[in-house]
Amino acid sequence: MPIPPDPADLYPDIAAHGSLLAALHAVSEGCLSTTSMRSSESEPLTHVAVDCHLPYRNPLLISAWVHERRWSVRGTDSFQDLELVGGRTEDLKEVAAAALAWRDGEPLDALQQAAPFAHLSGRFEAPDLDPARLTASEWQHLRTEASELNYPWGPAYQALVEAVHAEPTLRRLYPFTSHWALRFSTTTRPNLAVVGPMLSARSLDDYTVSKTFTGHDGAQFSTPRDAVSAAVRELPNGLASVTLGNT
């Protein structure tokens, strides 16, 4: 793997300001105050965190790439630490626009309008930490993610996610994935309480319901609807509503 160039060589304009924090302050014409940003002590030319006054948002993390001139942003919620917005751009002014919108607590869609490079994960914010809303948010993220996959098995995975979401018994559970296997919990993150089987998709006519990642202990189905029906039958009786996974 090639040795990355010195950040001062890749970002001479940032180096001229002394830090990425100072460069963002300058490119925003002072709108991004230095008090709302925190520079990395060890990597001041490449990393900055932008604070937000909303308690349910973590700071927006801004990182410079090491092998080519580009910046990435990532904004997460403060309870589950899951991505709400991400993106990459070669335009520092766009980075500043996203940082301003995040700092000011603008809604996520407004942030995307201000900085079109920003990609919304599909999750929405639940300031009251309502478990039902957090569950619905995660379902929306999975559906968004599945619709954007650019893999050969992407259409089959999307068909599976949509079939599972259409089943009320499974939709009321908190969904998560591991190695692209769809799983369920009776609690939200950060502490999941896994329940039921896992479902995976290999092709549009090959779906698996199993207890392990290998799938050797599972059953194969030719349609996502049949796989969903089998998964429902394996759920324990008397499942309660999803609760917060913070204990």
Q: Where are the domains of the chain?
A: 7-120, 131-245
Nearest to 50 by CA among 29, 25, 68, 26: 25
Give per-residue pLDDT as tens, 36-62.
Answer: 999 999 999 999 999 999 999 999 999
Q: Which two tokens stand for residue 100?
A: 């301003």
Q: 0.85 exceeded by the pTM?
A: yes
For the stretch 106-164, pLDDT in tens is 999 999 999 999 999 999 999 999 999 999 999 999 999 999 999 999 999 999 999 99
Q: Are 82 and 123 in contact (CB under 8 A)?
A: yes
Q: Please give the backbone phi and psi of residue 109, each rounded to the nearest 5 degrees, phi first.
A: -70, -30
Residue of 146, 30, 56 lying closest to 108 (CA atoms): 56
For the chain, the straight-line distance linking the first and the last C-alpha, in angstroms and rounded, comes to 43
* Residue reference for tokens 């957090």: 134
